[in-house]
A and B are shown apart, each in its own frame.
Chain A
Amino acid sequence: MTLKNGIRSCKNLAVRSLVAFFGLGTLAAQQADDPPIRAIQNIFEPLSTPALKIHETSIPVLLICAGIFVLVTSLLIYIVVKFRQRSEADRHIEPPQVYGSSHIELAWTVIPIIITVVLILITARTIGEIQNAPIPEDAVRIRVVGHQWWWEVHYLKQDENGEWVTDFITANEIHVPVGTREEPKRTHFILESADVIHSFWVPQLAGKMDVIPNRKNELWIEPWATGTYLGNCAEYCGTQHAKMKIRVIVNEPEAFEAWAANQRQVPTTVEPQVALGHKLFMDYACANCHTVDGTIADGVFGPDLTKLMTRRTLGSGAVDNTPENLFKWVRDPQAPDMKPGCLMPDMKMLDSEVKEIVAYLETLK
């Protein structure tokens, strides 16, 4: 195992110097009780089981490739240097004409075959380990539905018939409990799409999995470090593909439970000072696309807003969820500094109306 450790420490050194060179991320939208933002999603710094398995597969592959690279490049350089035509005088004598050699050619056929067999064995093992892992009883199950250009997130629970049904709904920011490497805590995703193909990718947690309409794909993670992991949609899905971001907030189990309990709570009353904003929200088309539990708003084309203020970003990670940004977003999400091309239209509301609506939205927590 010393070889393995040696490889790991070399790799860690390389990765750390790389990270040091980049400097640390400066992404905002962090609040005091949130786990730290993990902005640099290096695939060689895995923090969850499938990502680790991929990482462990990739190291021998990289080493073999590096070996071949060094060997062949040295050979190339040697040949070019050694067999250069030295002078013009040398020109008229042709070198010995060699047409081939079956022994040499056999050798350089057999060696690549052996290397390929090794690579195939490594690959096949990891594919099975990741794809065919059984789902533990206590796994958190989440159904993620990709939309142009945001993520609908259903936390699932088992009803009395044993069917998995929606517990509560949120969007774009996925909270999951943390485990340890010894006692992993599984979160299992079922990925579906409402329109075109997307792909769910948080590099430090797992490889990517496409999100395809009319199909159910599955993906699992077992994170062992808390943090706010930044991920992305990785399959081109239209205008705002670049701003279809994912946040996976990995938190202590207690914090996760507290968050989930709050998400389940359905508000029953509208505070009187935001009644006007509430009325405007329902009168304008907002309610056609967005759901706010406990009200008549039950649209499904846009993200569920019942607990909007518990989320750190707006527009699937397009901007931070600050009062100022919320105002700008509601007034015109098509503005160049918001998310131009997104499917939420500019409703051409007066600033005063926007202010009322924002006041109402700010009570949704």
Chain B
Amino acid sequence: MNPHASDAPIVDVELQPVRPGEEKGSFAAILQDLVFTVDHKKLGLMYFGTGLIFFVIAGLMAALMRYQLAIPNHDFLEPDVFNRFFTMHGTAMVFLVGMPMIFAFANYLIPLMIGARDMAFPRLNAFGFWIFFFSGILLYFSYIAGPGLYDAGSAPDVGWFAYSPLTLKAFSRGHSTDYWTISILLGGIGSIATSINILVTVFCLRCKGMTLGRMPLLVWLYIVVAFLVIIALPPLSACQIMLLLDRFLDAKFFDTQAGGDAVLWQHFFWIFGHPEVYILILPGFAIASEVIPVFSRKPIFGYPVMVAASVMIAFISLGVWAHHMFAVGMVSGANTFFAISTMLVAIPTGIKIFNWLGTMYGGKIRMRPPMLFCIAFLFQFLIAGLTGVMLAVAPFDWQLTDSYFVVAHFHYVLIGGLLYTIFAGVYYWYPKCTGRMLSEKLGHWHFWLFTIGFHLTFFPQHLLGFLGMPRRYYTYDAGRGWDEWNLISSIGVIIQAAGILFFVINLVRSYFKGEKAGDDPWDAWTLEWNTTSPPAEYNFEKPQVVRSRRPLWDLKHPDDPDWKYE
């Protein structure tokens, strides 16, 4: 039934004749390889590389916005330019950085971790990547092509959640919003395709002995993420289709003049939008759940509870969307319901944090860069979770929503949570992908600069929210108590940027000069460390067989294997 797990001999591609333009190492050959490849590892790295490029672009936009806001009444950016920047920054960070980054890890790691030779549908995998790639190009292309007929500005300027009716023809002329909509529609198709692929891969290609209860937690969490994607992305696609019908065929979905309802967009968008937060953060949890045990030298504490908590988070996250809408004037019953459901998320999330602490407790913690980023993640995600609880208290939210407090909150989630675990994952798996270690010294510079800069930028934004500063302001008056905090926040950006610079230098430099890694530099326990670094195209020479959650532990400790206790 399963072609990938068979013992079929591997064809040696080197034997095929070399045609002109296909010499190994030439630019044309590399390009051709990138375009034609269906290898899950190459696609994973391409997701990562593309995500990194978009991350730098969207990050620069953020830096320019912080420069504008450093002092009151600054006239560095015009209002329209600023509005486009925050729209593009938000859209790009969610759809062109967050999504490809999580799929990068999924693509690279899932087949390796379950002992498979590729994803279930390799060509669908390549399709998913390329449709994402072109959706990103399309979004940025709007800067060139957006003006449309009326010369009404270029890139989209409606905010990343694009509340109607601001997006309708009457208020958003030209074609910039059309580019935004079509780009997100395309990206959604790519994400759904990739997620179906993940589900099929995990359910159908596991190596012998790897029951669902023996899968690494990362794989489990990606099942949950893939389920969330296939359930939560279609509402986004649906409301983008409705918006396109409104804009091109004059339909009335969100036309308030014709009885349409502006709040309907918000419901549909956040039915996607809130699970999307978990789609982005669960892979962060997944990476932490792999890194923390290895660097604490202990198995994950309470594996079944971790799985159950993740499933609970995903399940509850489908019923909390309207906590983004406490201020739209819902009836008190609805406000109460969504406040309660939102607070319930805190329970499984708390369990997870305690289980990570339980994993570290009694271990021998190795303070290498991946672990440093994971410890910072625990601290920052704790803050993000607690500010989330504050926002869930609906009356408190009436003050805090749409203020800088919310900006601080979700940057603590997405940077303090997701980005830090991505960094941890990069330091952890870079040796596997390239065969070389990342420099620890540069890694420490990266970690400390970025952490200081991050807190300097985003912690004061909580206080700005308390002092009544709304988000998405291109400028503000002096004397409202906002000046100092904005300045501090902007200074932090410089330090963060320096940290990122160290990271990028480290990535490039270590590729050529890094210390050789060997197959298993961290003395880890999951199957990806049971093959060469970097793995061959077919991943494993022999089909893998596992008997516990930590197959390499069993191999290294035949006297005390895990399967005695599971």
Binding site for B on A (CB under 8 A): 18-19, 21-22, 24-27, 39-44, 51, 53-54, 57-58, 61-62, 65, 68-69, 72-73, 75-76, 79-80, 83-85, 90-91, 94-101, 104-105, 108-109, 112-113, 115-116, 119-120, 122-124, 126-128, 130-132, 148, 195-197, 199, 201, 203, 206-210, 212-215, 217-218, 230-243, 336, 340-341
Contact = CB atoms under 8 A, between A and B. Distances in A.
Contact of A213 (B165, B479, B484): B165
A295 B386 CA distance: 58
B163 A235 contact: yes
A317 B262 CA distance: 27
Interface residues of B, number: 100
Contact of A42 (B358, B390, B468, B471): B468
The 9 A-B pairs of least Cβ separation, nearest first, read A207-B398, A41-B468, A25-B479, A100-B302, A217-B329, A203-B468, A214-B256, A213-B256, A242-B473
A236 B379 CA distance: 32
A100 B303 contact: yes
Contacts of A113: 347
B366 interface: yes
14 contacts: A40-B481, A53-B395, A54-B399, A68-B386, A85-B365, A85-B366, A95-B362, A108-B351, A124-B340, A126-B394, A148-B171, A201-B402, A201-B468, A208-B399
Contact of A84 (B298, B365, B401, B566): B365
Interface in B390-433: 390, 392-403
Given A80-B365, A232-B470, 10 more contacts: A39-B481, A43-B399, A79-B365, A85-B365, A96-B298, A97-B562, A105-B305, A108-B351, A131-B332, A208-B401
Given A22-B484, A234-B403, A340-B78, A79 B361 contact: yes
A214 B357 contact: no
Contacts of B397: 207
Contact of B343 (A68, A97, A116, A242): A116
A230 B336 contact: no
Interface centre among B75, B332, B366, B367 (most CB of A within 10 A): B332
Nearest to B479: A25
A77 to B, nearest CB: 9
A39 B470 CA distance: 14
A65 to B, nearest CB: 4
B491 interface: no
B565 interface: yes
A234 B405 CA distance: 12
Given A43-B399, A238-B171, A340 B79 contact: yes
Interface in B97-127: none
Contacts of A43: 399-400, 466-468
B83 interface: yes
B481 A215 contact: no
A266 B166 CA distance: 36
Contact of A80 (B158, B263, B360, B478): B360
A54 B398 contact: yes
B258 to A, nearest CB: 9
Given A41-B467, A79-B361, A240-B79, A94 B332 contact: no
A217 B329 CA distance: 6
A258 B175 CA distance: 51
B33 interface: no
B353 A72 contact: yes
B477 interface: yes
B328 interface: yes
Contacts of B481: 19, 22, 25, 39-40, 42
Contacts of A122: 393
Contacts of A196: 163, 165-166, 171, 262
Contacts of B365: 79-80, 83-85
Interface string B122-138: 00000000000000000
B343 A207 contact: no
Contacts of B478: 26-27
A236 B159 contact: yes
Nearest to B336: A124
Contacts of B301: 98-101
Contacts of B299: 97-99
Interface in B284-334: 296-299, 301-305, 327-329, 331-332
Contacts of A72: 353, 357, 382
Contacts of A95: 296-298, 362-364
Contacts of A40: 467, 480-481
B324 to A, nearest CB: 11
Given A43-B466, A53-B395, A242-B476, A207 B165 contact: no
A65 B386 contact: yes
B378 interface: yes
A127 B339 contact: yes
B335 interface: yes
